[in-house]
Amino acid sequence: MNVYIKTYGCQMNERDSESAAAMLAEAGHTIVHTEKAADLIILNTCSVREQAELKAIGKLGILSRLKREHPWLLFGIMGCMAQSRGEELLEKIPHLDFVIGTDNIHLLPETVAELEKGRRKMRHDLRMGADTPGIDAHRLEESEQPFSAFVSISRGCNRFCSYCIVPYVRGPERSREMDSIVEEVRMLAGQGVKEIMLLGQNVASYGFDRKPPSEMPDDVSHFAELLSRINDIDGIRRIRFTSPHPAYFNRRLIETVGALPKVCKSMHLPLQSGSDLVLKRMNRPYTAEKYLQIVNDLRALAPQMTFSTDIIVGFPGETEADFEATRQMMQAVRYDNAYIFKYSPRKGTVSAKLYPDDVPQTEKERRNQVLLAELEKINAENNNALVGQDFELLAEGPSKRNSASWMGKTDTFKQVFFKAPDGLKKGDFINVHIVRATSMSLYGDVI
Ligand code: 5AD
Ligand code: SF4
């Protein structure tokens, strides 16, 4: 069967789609890249904000028209909406043939086999452990960046930030066996992968679900141990991860990130808010001061470290003073990137139950714009300061906008455009001297 998978949402979903595609290809199916070429269309859905769910529902509506023209077409949903609203969707959407929850991706090949036999309206959404079959299945040969791979290290989340639906949808945190992750990375290194992105809702708490400590120790980090073991694998040159919760970023992890040469000196560290009062209502157990301490401790070990973050504006009760505290944090950390979200209440979460969504939409939008403008200013200053410096880049390939130049990334996750010398291949390392900067990008000459 020709299968098209459309992915919404986060990198976790992208990774799940890749392993789904690998398992289906292994079972003899062909993965196609357009809806038109498909006999089966699967949407891998996201639930984190209402907007994401509306987008997928809209897409299903459009697809129902396709079905009228091509009655043989089959449809499935996987991902967060399949897990949390699968039964309802199967009932309401006549042309939907199956839903596969977030822990059941390995059941996809047999579900498709059942479809071929004529069965319809199947639902698989049981909770499983983390090490399900196929969680380590990749499709590097189909990737545009076969030198780089995502690796899931855990499923679910135990944090229950008050605004977040993820723990309800993806379930409790379950860490994969460390040996199995290390084996997967070794296999990828053997196939030429040089850069690994470790994925989890909260990577820093990796392993603590097996034996939860009564209090977060300062000298134990299973995640740091995992980083050390991956750092030892020949062929792997860069290790990245997303996202660590600040409350689990203890002394051991800070020292490990600072010390290990392959662990990239760029950190995505979700702040969410710079106001201690808002953080408390968000059930994020740290203060702005504690967060800044982590940033400063990391920079003391690696001064070149860059930071990116997630921020929510317009959380219930967020005053002008609270917002100002977030703006101040942007200034203090000097982020290189920030994903800014306008608060949207999610049914079933604590904040949706306890607090009225009282910041007007226009004010959320204004706060969003203020932070974006702030970020642009900081980016220009950060980038200008890099002019004249030399960096090693991992060459990713020709630039999308201008194929005469190539794009590569520094260890600190900065994009640099440069003129590629003859014979340069995707995934090669190359040294450049930065000659020009804008708020968005850097331009370099090959050394
Ligand atoms: N409203 C707005 N943003 C949210 N996020 C999670 N839940 C919500 C919500 N209800 C944001 C957080 C998280 C990112 C993935 O999405 O910033 O880090
Ligand atoms: Fe959601 Fe918080 Fe878990 Fe992240 S750590 S997935 S924001 S509950």
> What pLDDT is attached to residue 50?
87
> How confident is the model over 5-14, as pLDDT tens digits?
999 999 999 9
Say yes or no: CB of residue 164 within 6 Å of ligand 1.
yes
Percent of the chain with pLDDT over 70: 100
Which atom, in ligand 2's list, is nearest to the CA of 165? 1
CA-closest residue to ligand 1 atom 17? 310
> How confident is the model over 31-78, as pLDDT tens digits?
999 999 999 999 999 999 888 899 999 998 888 888 888 999 999 999
Distance 252 CA to ligand 2 centre (A): 22
Average pLDDT over residues 239-251: 96
Distance 31 CA to ligand 1 centre (A): 31
Say whether pTM exceeds 0.85: yes
CA of residue 416 relative to chain centroid, distance: 22
Average pLDDT over residues 290-294: 98
> What pLDDT is attached to residue 231?
98
Distance spanning both ends of the chain, measured CA to CA: 49
Q: pLDDT band at 216, cuts 50/70/90?
A: confident
> How confident is the model over 338-363, as pLDDT tens digits?
999 999 999 999 999 999 999 999 99
Q: pLDDT band at 214, cuts 50/70/90?
A: confident
| pLDDT tops 90 at residue 81 | yes
SS3 annotation, the chain: CEEEEEECCCHHHHHHHHHHHHHHHHCCCEECCCCCCCCEEEEEECCCCHHHHHHHHHHHHHHHHHHHHCCCCEEEEEEHHHHHHHHHHHHHCCCCCEEECCCCHHHHHHHHHHHHCCCCCEEECCCCCCCCCCCCCCCHHHCCCCCEEEEECEECCCCCCCCCCHHHHHCCCEECCHHHHHHHHHHHHHCCCCEEEEECCCHHHCCCCCCCCCCCCCCCCHHHHHHHHHHCCCCCCEEEEECCCHHHCCHHHHHHHHHCCCECCEEECCCECCCHHHHHHCCCCCCHHHHHHHHHHHHHHCCCCEEEEEEEECCCCCCHHHHHHHHHHHHHHCCCEEEEEECCCCCCCHHHHHCCCCCCHHHHHHHHHHHHHHHHHHHHHHHHCCCCCEEEEEEEEECCCCCCCEEEECCCCCEEEECCCCCCCCCCEEEEEEEEECCCCEEEEEC
Among 49, 160, 367, the mutation site with the greatest number of ligand 1 atoms within 8 A of its Cβ is 49
CB atoms within 10 A of CB 68: 9
Cα 418 to Cα 443: distance, rounded to the nearest angstrom: 6
> How confident is the model over 129-181, as pLDDT tens digits?
999 999 999 999 999 999 999 999 999 999 999 999 999 999 999 999 999 99
CA-closest residue to ligand 2 atom 5? 159
> What pLDDT is attached to residue 177?
97
Do 243 and 268 form a contact (C-beta atoms < 8 A)?
Answer: yes
> What pLDDT is attached to residue 404?
80
CA of residue 87 relative to chain centroid, distance: 27
Residue written as tokens 């309206």?
Answer: 121
> What pLDDT is attached to residue 413?
97
Mean pLDDT across the chain? 96
Do 236 and 262 form a contact (C-beta atoms < 8 A)?
Answer: yes
| pLDDT tops 80 at residue 403 | no
CA-closest residue to ligand 1 atom 2? 343
φ, ψ at 191 (rounded to 5°): -95, 10
> What pLDDT is attached to residue 171?
96
> What pLDDT is attached to residue 68?
86
> What pLDDT is attached to residue 402?
79
Q: Kindly list the distances between the CA atom of residue 259 and the CA atoms of 182, 214, 255, 264, 269, in Å, as whole numbers in the listed order.
A: 19, 28, 6, 10, 18
Cα 56 to Cα 207: distance, rounded to the nearest angstrom: 33
Say yes or no: CB of residue 11 within 6 Å of ligand 1.
no
Question: And the tokens for 307?
Answer: 């930071």
Percent of the chain with pLDDT over 90: 93
> What pLDDT is attached to residue 165?
96
> What pLDDT is attached to residue 26?
96
Say yes or no: CB of residue 80 within 6 Å of ligand 1.
no
Average pLDDT over residues 311-327: 98
